[in-house]
A and B are shown apart, each in its own frame.
Chain A
Amino acid sequence: MKLKQYIKIACLSSFTVVATSCLDLEPKANLSDSTVWNKASNFQLFADQFYGWTSDFVTAIGDNVHSDYRSDLVCGSSVNTYSQGTNTIPSSDGNYGTNYKRIYYTNLLLKNAESFSDPASIAIPVAEAKFFRAYAYFELVQIYGDAIIVTEPLDTDSEQLYGAQNDRGEVVDLIIKDLQEAAGALPETSTEAGRLNKYIALSMLSRVALYEGTWQKFHNGGRDATANTARSTELLTIAKNAANEVIKSGKYKLFYHETLGDQSYRYMFTLEDGAQCNPANLSKADNTEYIFVKRHRNGDKTAYNLTHGMVGNACYVTRKLAELYLCSDGLPIEKSSNFKGYKGVADEFQNRDRRMDNTMLYHGEQYWNNDGKWRTTWTDADLTDCLVANVRSGSGYQCQKWGTERKVDDYYESYDFPIIRYAEVLLTYAEAAYELDGTISDSDLDYSLNLVRQRVNPSMPKLSNSLVVAHGLSMREEIRRERTVELVLEGHRIDDLKRWATAAVEMPQDQLGVQFTGTWFETNWNNPGKSVNADGILVLYTNRVWNDKLYLYPLPSDQLQLNPQLEQNPGWK
C-alpha cells in the first residue's frame, strides 16, 4: 500500500530524469572473490600472508604460552601468574581466536583451490596452506588439548560453529596428514630465503609427533611410564623417522666456526647481516643450523627489546638452570668431582658445560652490550672498554643469551628467531628413539645427541650407555637435560614439562637464586631484598603451586558462552 503510494509520487516527481543505472557502482580499491581466485599467482600471494604467523622472540621470551618465563628456569622482577600456577579463567583469549582465524584463511585457500582449473600451478600455495593449518592446529592442541576441527570456511549459519570439540587425537591426525602432504609437495630446497621446504615440514612433523607421542605415553602411564601405548608407539615412530629423514638429507649442520670456538653456540643466536656482529665476521648465510626461522632485516624495528631485556639483571636466571649444566666430565654436579662448589663468586662456573657460560654471565666477566659498551674492533682491544658483570641483583645469576655486542639501537637487533633448528631435530631423534624402545644405542646417540653436546664441549665424554651405567645416571633424564640446556629461552621448556607430565614435580619448586650464606655473596651483597632459605639460598618465588588442570589452558569464558557445546577443560569447571 504505502509502497504503491510512493511509487506514484516518485513517478510524478520524475521530471528530473536520471537513470537508475547510475546506482550501479563497482568497487575501485579492493579485490573480490572473482578477481582473487582466478589466478595462480594470487593463490601464492594469499599464501604469502601465512609467513607472518610464525613464532618470534615474543613467543619464547615475552609473556606467552610457550615462553620460558612461564616455566621454571627463568623469571622476572615480578611474579608470573602462569609460572606461579595461579592463573585463572580469562574472559577472552587471543590465542583461541587467532588460531581459528588462521585456520579459516588456510581453509579459504584450500576450498578455492578445489575448483581451480590448473591444480599443478598452485601446488606450492596449497602445500603452504596445509603446513600453516597444521601449525595453527598444533598451537590449539598444545594450549587447549581437544579442539573443534574445521576444514572448510564456515558461514554464520553453519552448525559446525556450535559443535563439540574433537578429541586431540583426531586433531593430531589431521596435523600429521597435512604435514605429510605438505612435505610431499614442497621443494627440497627453499626457493627463497624464509620459504618452506620439504625438510621444514618434516622437522615440524617430528616435533608434533614427539609432542603427542610422549604426551600419550606419560599422561596415560604416568610420568615414569616405561611402556608405550599403541598410539604412542605409532607417533614416536613417525617422530623418529621424520627426524631421521631430515638428518639423512645432510642439508643441515650444527653451527660451528673455528674462530668462535667454544663461543660458537652463543654467537649463532646473534648473527646479523649488514654489520659485524662476531669476531669471525660471520653473517646469517654462515648459519647452517637454522631450519625454519622468523627472519628480521637489519634496520627494521622488532617487537622485543632483546639485548636490554635479556642481558644482565633483566632476566633472572634461576638456580635450577645453573645446576642443570653438566660438569666437564659429562656428569651432573652432584656426581662430579670437577664441581668447584659455591664459595667463590664464579666457582660454580668452573669445569662446566661451556653452554653455561655461553648462556650466563658470571661475576667479573667482561662483556659488551649494544649501548653501554659495545665492541668495535672485535679483537681483544675491545676488552679495554667493556662492561664488567656485577651479579649483585636479581637471582645472582645473569643471562647473556640473545644479547648482541655490537652498537645497535634498542629494538633494532635483527637476528633471526629459530623456529626450528637442527639441534632440536637431533635431540628429537634421540628422545623418540629412546622413548620408543626404552633404550637407545650408543651409535644412535652419536648420530644425534652427542653432536649437540660436543659442539662447544669437544672433550666432554659422550653420553653413552656405559657412562649412564657407570655413574648411576638415568638415560631419560640425560636426554631431557641435553634438550633443556640446549634449547633454553627458545620457548620449549614449559611445553616439554607438560608433555613429560613432570610439571607437577618441577613447577611447584621454589624458584631460587645463588647460594648466599657462606659465600662471596654474603659478604659482598648488601641487601638482596629477598629471603634466604634453610640451605642459605636466595628465594625468588615461593608458594608456587601446580594443579593438574594447568596441563591445559582453560577455554576463555566468552567462547564457552557463545558455544554451549564447548566443554571446559578438566579442573577448570
Chain B
Amino acid sequence: MKNEFLKFSSRRILFSAAMASALLAGSPQMAFADVNGAQAVMQAGTVKGVVVDVTGEPVIGANVMVKGTTNGTITDVDGNFSLSNVKGTLIVSFIGYKSQEVVVKGTETSLKIVLKEDSELLEEVVVVGYGTMKKESLTGAVTAVDQKAFQGKGSLSSPLQALQGQVAGVMITRGSSAPGDESWSLNLRGAVSMNNTDPLIIIDGVASDGVNDLRLLNSNDIASISFLKDGSAAIYGSRAAGGVMLITTKKGAEGKVKVEYSGNATFKTVGLMQEAMSLDQWANGLKTALRNDDQTGNVWYTYAELAQKYKGQYIDLQTSANPFGTAAFTDVSDFVFADDVDWLGTLFGNTWSTEHSLSVSGGTEKSSYRISLNYLYDGSTLQFGDNNNQRYNFRVNNTYKFTDNLKLESSIAYNRQNQVVPTMVDAVLSNTLPMPGLAFESLNGKPYAWGTWGSPAAKAEYGGDNKLVVSAINISETLNWKLTDWLTANANVGYNTSTAQRDKVENSITYYNYVGNKVVRTDPIQDNSSYTQTSSRTDFYSFSGYLAANKTLAQKHKLNLTVGAQYEFKDYTYFGVKAKDIQTGLEIIHGSGDITLSGDEKRYQTAVLSYFGRFNYDYDGRYLFELNGRYDGSSKFRPVNRWAAFYGASIGWRLKQETFLRDVDWLSELKLRASYAEVGNQSGISDYDGIQFYNLVSAGGDGAYIGSDKISYIKTDGSLASTNRHWERIKNYNVAVDFGFLNGNLTGTVEAFLKKNDNMLVDITYPALLGDKAPKMNAGKFKDWGYEGSINYRGSVAGVNFHVGGTFTFARNELTDYGGTTVLSSGYKSTMQGYPLKSIFGLRYAGKIQNEEQLEAYKAKYFENNGVNMPSNLRVGDNMYCDENGDGKIDEKDYIYLGSDTPEISYSFNWGADWRGFDVNVIFQGSANRFVYRPIDNMTVPFRGYYTNTSTASIDNTWAEDNRNAYYAPYTSDSNINNWNYQASSLTAQDGRYLRLKNLTIGYTFPAKMLKKTKVLQNARIYATGTDLWETTKIKDGWDPEAAAFDSKDAKQAAKGVKRYPFTRNFTFGVNLTF
C-alpha cells in the first residue's frame, strides 16, 4: 500500500513539477508531452504550412517543433514554415500566444495554424521573493507590471516615470524636472514611519541601493516588476517595512537572432511656471508698498519713478550724472531699465531629449542570450550654461543549461550617467529674482553686474560646470540545480559596484557695466575660484542560497517549501578635495591656493545575515495558505540586540472554484484574501548604533583662526548615543477580493490595508539642557491605513480592440503617539500627535481688517502678550486670525491643522484601443487630499524686498475698499507685517489636488505584408506621445501642482536650484523596429 501510494504520488509530483517548470518557460502545453506522447506514432514526412493570428495576419518567428524531438523551425515573414522528417505532433508556439498542438497525419503542404493571443499568459506567473508563484494561487497583495508598461512612453529618465499613478497602492511623485535630478520618489501604500521606508528594490535577485538607483536603469531591459505591498514581503524581514519591488530583466529566448531597435525624440516645453512682474508692474507695486509704509523718502521710491521715466533706456554713469547725486547708488555704474526682459521666460525655454535602444537576442536549447544597449540624452529647460544628463546602458543576460538539471542565469550590466549642471545653479535659480529692468548681459555680450548683483545668466554661463560621472556594474549569477523532481537548489552571487565622481569648477567671474567697457565687479574673486573633486565608491556583495521543494499529496494537497540563507555586505567610502585659485579650462584638480578636504569624508560598512523561508499550502485550488518569515541579524546593532525574527501569514479562498460557483458563467474569478505580517525597519538606526561618535575637523576647515591657520578640532557628531534601541516593527494587515466577470474581460481587485508601527523610532525633544541631539527612541506609535482598487475591461467591437481601466489608492497616516512632548509651532510639522506626517499648522484666517475701528479693536483685544509675533504697526487691510481656543490670547495654542503635504489619494484612469494597426492610449492621473504651504520668500510675498521681483499673482488682488476680500494684504516691505500676513494660515495653505492628462499616445503598426517587402523588418511601429499635456489644479501661485512645497526648514526642499525647474510638457515621436 505504502509503495503504491508513493508510486502514485510521485507521478503526481512529477507532473506538477513539470507543470511548474513549463509555466516558468511560458508554454504550458509542453507539459503534456509525456501524457500524449504515446498517441502520436506516425510516419515521417515533410510538412508545410502557415501560422497566422486570429485576424489573419502572419505570425513571424513562431516556433514549430516536432514534439519530443529537437526537430524544429521558425516561421518566415509570411508566417510560412517547412519542416521535413515530421512524425507525430507539431507544437507551434510564440510569445504572447497560446501554444497549439497539431497532430500531423502525413505529408501535408497547406497546414493553417491559427494562434490565439493569450493576454493572461504573461501575468500568470508572478515573481515573488525567492521564487515565482502562479497568480491564481497568490494570497498576498502582489501586483505585477510587465514590459508593456514601458513601451512607447517616450524617453524615460526612470522606469518610475512610466508607472506614476498606474499601479494601485504604488505612490510615485517627482521632485523636480532638472535633468538627472528628477528625484522620483516611491512608496507603497503610504508611509509607515517617520523614518525612511522606501521599498526594498531587488533587481534579478540582488538588492539595489535605493529608489534613486532606478534612474540608472534602462526601462527597455525590464521584463517585469512585482510590487509586494503587504505581508508577502515578510520574507525580506527587516527591510520589508516599505514593501518590496522586484525587477526582473529580459532574457533571450530560444530561436533565431532577433534584433530590436527603438528610438524616440522628445520635444520639451515649459509647462506651468510662475510669472514675474514687468517693469511697470513692479515699479507701481513698489511705489504703492513704500507709500503704504510712509517711506516715500526712500531712494527706492525715486528709483521706481526713474525706472518708469526711462523705461526701455539706460543711464551710463560714465557719460551722465548720477540722478541720485551722491545720496545713493554711489557704487553702481549705470541704471538699466529694459522693458522687454522676461526673466523667467528667458531663463527657461524649450529643449530636446532623445533615447535609442538596441537589443540582440536569441539562443539555442543549451543557451540563450540578450545583449542590449541604450543611450539617453536629456536636455535642460535652463537656457544658460551647460546642463544635461546622459545615460549609457549595456546589459548582457545569458542563460546556460549545463545539463538538463543545472542552469546558470547570468546578468551583467554596466550603467553610466554623465550629468552636467552649472556649478552656481543655486544662485542662478533662487527665489530672489532681481527687479525687472536689469539686463541679462551687457550690450556687447559680457557678464553684467549692477552694484553687488551679478546676472544669473553669467553665473550659469561662466561660473563653471559641475560634472557628475556615475559608473555602475551590476552582476547577478544564479545557479539553479534541480536535485530531484521535487527539490531545487538555487544559489545567487550578486555584486554591485558603483563609483560617483563629481568635478565642480567654480570660476571667478568678471562682471562689466551695461555698456560693457568697464569692470565693475569680480565674484568670486580669483583667490576664491575653486575646483572641488569628490568621489564615492560603493561595493555591495550578496550571497544567497535556498532550497525549494514542491510536492502534491493525494492530488489535492499542494505543498511548497522554500528555505534559505543570505549574507549581504556593503562598503561605502567618500572623500572630497577642494583647491582654490584655479586656472580656467583645466579639468583636473589643481589650484595655487588653499587645498582642503571637503570635511564630510565618510566610510562605513554594514552587513546583514539572514535566514528565510516560505511555506505554501494549496488545497484543491480552493483554499490557500502561506507562511513566510525571516530571521535577520544586522551589523548596525550591538550583539545583544542584533537579531530579530519577522514573519507573515496569509490565506486565500478561491470561491469560484467551489462547486456552487463553478458553473456560474458570468463570473470568471472570485477570490478572497487576507494577510497579517510583522516586518521590520532599520532605517532609523545609525550604522554603528550605541557608540558616541566624534568627528575630527581638519585644519583649514571651519575651525577658529588661531595662530597661522584655521585650527583642527574634535567635536561630537552632534548626537548622543543610545544603547537600547531596536528595529521598528510594523504590523501589516491586508484583506482583498479579486474578481473577474464576462469571461475574464472585466477584472479587478479591491484591497484594504492597515499598517501599525508601535515602536517607531522618534526624535524626542528634550529640554535644551541635554546639549546634543537626543538619540531616537522606540517611543512612537504610527499607523497608516487605506484602500486601493483597480479595474480593467478589455473588449472588442467591430474589429476594434479596446480597454479601459483605472486605479485608485487612498492612504492616510497618523502619528498616534509621539512618545514625547510635542511643541506646537506654525508651518510644517511631522511630529504632532494625532496628525499625519508633513502636516501644516497655522492660524485660522478671520478676514482682513476692514477699517480703523476694527484695527483698534483687534489690537486692543489681542496685541498684549500675544505669542504669534503680531506686529505693533498692524494696518487696515492686514489679516486677522481667530483666537481659536477662546482664551482671549492669540498664541501657539490657537494653531489649527491645515492639511498635510502628503497626498492621501492617488488615482488614474486609462483608455486605449487598436484597430487595423492603429492604436491610441490615454492616461489621466491625479492626486487629492494634499495641501501646500509655501513659506515666506520674495516670490510668494510681494515687495518683501525692494530690489527683487515678485509673482504677478498679487496684481488686482490686494485689499482695497472696493476689493475687501482680496487674497493679498496691501503691499508693504515691512517684514513684521509680511511675516504676519503670510504665515501659515487657513488662507495661505493651498489645496494641492490636481488631475492631469499624463499621457496620450497614438501609434501605427505597419502590416506584416508590407514589411515583408523590406525582407529584413519583422515588426515596425511609429508613435507620437504627449505627456503632461493638460491639467486642472487649485494651486494659486503659478507652480506646478506636482512640485514640492519648498519647506524652508528642509535644506533639500529649499526653493532654489534644481527645485525651481518648471515641469515640462513633452511631445515624443518614436519608432520601434524588429529585425
Contact = CB atoms under 8 A, between A and B. Distances in A.
Given A6-B647, A161-B769, A559-B768, A89 B825 contact: no
Given A15-B565, A27-B693, A371-B331, A42 B525 contact: no
A194 B709 CA distance: 11
B567 interface: yes
B613 interface: yes
Contact of A295 (B325, B706, B774): B706
Interface in A136-165: 148, 150, 153-156, 160-162
Contacts of A81: 871-872, 976
Contact of B771 (A101, A295, A409, A559): A101
A474 interface: no
Nearest to B691: A32
Contacts of B534: none
A372 B713 contact: no
A150 B774 CA distance: 17
Contacts of B711: 48, 51
Nearest to A191: B707
B567 A313 contact: no
Contacts of B491: 16
B703 A52 contact: yes
B772 A104 contact: yes
Contacts of A295: 704-706
B569 interface: yes
Interface string A387-424: 11110110000000000000001101000000000000
A420 B704 CA distance: 17
Given A2-B647, A88-B868, A562-B823, A527 B873 contact: no
Contacts of B770: 100, 104, 154, 156, 161
B768 A527 contact: no
A274 to B, nearest CB: 11
Contacts of B825: 91-92, 558
Contacts of B603: 28-29
Contacts of A32: 691-694
Contacts of B714: 31, 36, 42, 45-46, 48-49
B631 A10 contact: yes
A377 interface: no
Contacts of A46: 694, 713-715
Contacts of A9: 563, 611, 613, 629, 631
B645 A6 contact: yes
A3 B973 CA distance: 65
Nearest to A35: B694
Interface in B619-676: 629, 631, 633-635, 639, 642, 645, 647
Contact of A296 (B543, B705, B720): B705
A219 B604 CA distance: 57
Greatest chain B CB density within 10 A among A7, A29, A48 is at A29
A48 B712 CA distance: 7
Interface residues of A, dominant DSSP: loop
B716 A108 contact: yes
Contact of A23 (B527, B631, B634, B765): B634
Given A295-B706, A562-B766, A36 B694 contact: yes
Contacts of A105: 715-716, 771
A10 B610 CA distance: 8
A563 interface: yes
Nearest to A195: B706
B703 A563 contact: no
Interface stretch (B145-153, B224-232, B295-303): B295-303
Sorting the interface of chain A by its residue count into under 10, 10 to 19, 20 to 34 or 35 or more gives 35 or more
A308 B328 CA distance: 12
Contacts, number: 280
Greatest chain A CB density within 10 A among B545, B567, B611 is at B611
Interface in B327-380: 327-328, 330-331
A22 interface: yes
Nearest to A51: B704
Contacts of A10: 565, 611, 631
Contact of B892 (A24, A91, A161, A371): A91
B612 interface: yes
Contact of A529 (B298, B704, B974): B298
Sorting the interface of chain B by its residue count into under 10, 10 to 19, 20 to 34 or 35 or more gives 35 or more
A393 B298 CA distance: 8
Contacts of B645: 2-3, 6
B717 interface: yes
A53 to B, nearest CB: 9
B294 interface: yes
A79 B528 CA distance: 36
Contacts of A154: 769-771
Given A52-B702, A161-B769, A528 B609 contact: no
Contacts of A251: none
A527 B609 contact: no
A385 to B, nearest CB: 13
B710 interface: yes
Contacts of A195: 706-707
Contact of B569 (A22, A148, A192): A22
B769 A160 contact: yes
Nearest to B525: A409
Interface in A526-555: 527-530, 543
A96 B602 CA distance: 31
A146 to B, nearest CB: 14
A18 B702 contact: no
A173 B722 CA distance: 34
Nearest to B569: A22
Contacts of B856: none
Interface in B547-569: 547, 563-567, 569
Contacts of A558: 765, 823, 825
A161 B820 CA distance: 14
A88 B569 contact: no
A155 B525 CA distance: 47
Greatest chain B CB density within 10 A among A23, A32, A108, A563 is at A23
A16 B295 CA distance: 79
Contacts of B715: 46, 49, 105
A33 B692 contact: yes
Contact of A16 (B565, B777, B891): B565
Contacts of B873: 79
Greatest chain B CB density within 10 A among A296, A313, A409 is at A409
Nearest to A370: B331
B769 A148 contact: yes
B948 interface: no
A561 interface: yes
B778 to A, nearest CB: 13
B706 A150 contact: no
B209 interface: no
A20 interface: yes
Greatest chain A CB density within 10 A among B634, B706, B867, B973 is at B706
Contact of B775 (A14, A23, A88, A156): A156
Question: Nearest 4 CB-CB pairs, A to B?
Answer: A529-B297, A104-B771, A51-B704, A10-B611
26 contacts: A6-B611, A12-B613, A13-B547, A13-B611, A13-B612, A16-B565, A22-B609, A23-B634, A25-B606, A27-B688, A29-B602, A46-B715, A48-B712, A49-B715, A81-B871, A81-B872, A88-B866, A156-B774, A161-B766, A162-B767, A193-B707, A194-B706, A195-B706, A371-B331, A393-B327, A562-B767
Interface of A: 2-3, 6-7, 9-10, 12-16, 18, 20, 22-33, 35-36, 42, 45-46, 48-49, 51-52, 54, 77-79, 81, 84, 86, 88-92, 96-97, 100-101, 103-105, 107-108, 148, 150, 153-156, 160-162, 192-195, 294-297, 299-301, 308, 312-313, 369, 371-372, 387-390, 392-393, 409-410, 412, 527-530, 543, 557-559, 561-563, 566, 572
Given A23-B642, A48-B706, A529-B298, 10 more contacts: A9-B613, A16-B564, A22-B607, A23-B609, A45-B714, A48-B714, A81-B872, A148-B769, A155-B720, A393-B297
